[in-house]
Structure 1
Amino acid sequence: MAMNLQTPDEPEVMMDINTTPLIDVMLVLLIMLIITIPVQQHSVNLDMPQSATPQTKKPNVVRIEVDARSVVNWNGKPLADRAALDILLLEAKAQEPQPELHIKAQGKAKYEAVAGVLASAQRQGLTKIGIVGTKQFAAP
């Protein structure tokens, strides 16, 4: 025989945890956090450099062309050899401001000649170098 300790008038014992006080505490903490956070600014302050004055003077441009026979031309005048190119590159480096070199190679020019011009310009310390007229080499 089993013994029943519960009287018929008592309510049934609840076995679940009561989460209401936990939720109340969490809401109070959330409100305190919201109140104590400082107001955020919607912008970021950056120290940007001041803009430079635009160039009104066009840069000096030197056109170097390498033709199909790998002859190097300086502004349309053919050069005898690499030494003549080096002398002209040294003179260009001494100019202030440094001129821009626009190097153009024809389609049949040897790579060795074009690479030699680029290497000479770099060796002499010229930094404003551009290769122009490359549309003929683009893939269709």
Structure 2
Amino acid sequence: MAFGSFGSGSKSTPMAEINVIPLVDIMLVLLVIFIITAPLLTDAVKIDLPKASSTPNESKADNVQFAINSAGQLYWNGEPIDHDQMLQRFANAAQQEPTPELHLRVDRDARYEVLADVMSEASKAGLAKVGFITDPSGKVLAGPVVPTGGER
């Protein structure tokens, strides 16, 4: 916007007109840019991507019911075993694919040392998934525990 002239005249009134020529120039330049770039944005490269299924391959791991009674006797799925058999069975179970879960049922009167030894040997063998099966009724385990299925 012009506010006056460079003349030496005494009448210095501002100009009341808007100069739109620079605005039109900018708009034309933007129009040309958009006309050129618009077709470039709609073209896409066709790529044949492989199809993959999203369903996970689940294989249910078995579990081993391991019990310790108050006398320190060890049971593998209801079968009485000794310490050496336990070590061998832990090693065999750790080599299975997938690695089975070890479910421990321990009598409340059992010695902690026996439980700690069993958990330590299971960890050394490679059995990482260990769970404790509890009986809310408070019954004492007197003998072998026969697995019943889906309890945890």
Compute the TM-score of the two structures, normalised by the length of structure 1. 0.55
Structure 1: distance between partners of 2:100 and 2:130: 9
1:54 shift after superposition: 6.7
- Two-structure CA RMSD over aligned residues (Å): 2.3
- Do structure 1's residue 128 and structure 2's residue 129 form an aligned pair? yes
- Do structure 1's residue 53 and structure 2's residue 47 form an aligned pair? no
> What letter is aligned with 1:83?
D
Aligned pairs for 1:1-140 (under 5 A) are 53=56, 55=58, 57-80=59-82, 82-133=83-134, 135=136, 136=138
1:84 shift after superposition: 1.1
Structure 1: distance between partners of 2:109 and 2:89: 25
Structure 2: distance between partners of 1:91 and 1:54: 24
CA 1:54–1:133 in structure 2 vs 1: closer, same or farther (change >3 Å)? farther
SS of structure 2 residue aligned to 1:88: helix
SS of structure 2 residue aligned to 1:130: strand
Compute the TM-score of the two structures, normalised by the length of structure 2. 0.51
CA 1:52–1:128 in structure 2 vs 1: closer, same or farther (change >3 Å)? farther
Unmatched 5+ residue regions in structure 1? 1-50
Structure 2: distance between partners of 1:127 and 1:52: 26
Structure 2: distance between partners of 1:58 and 1:73: 23
Tell me the residue number matched to 1:40.
none
* Count of matched residue positions in the alignment of Structure 1 and Structure 2: 86
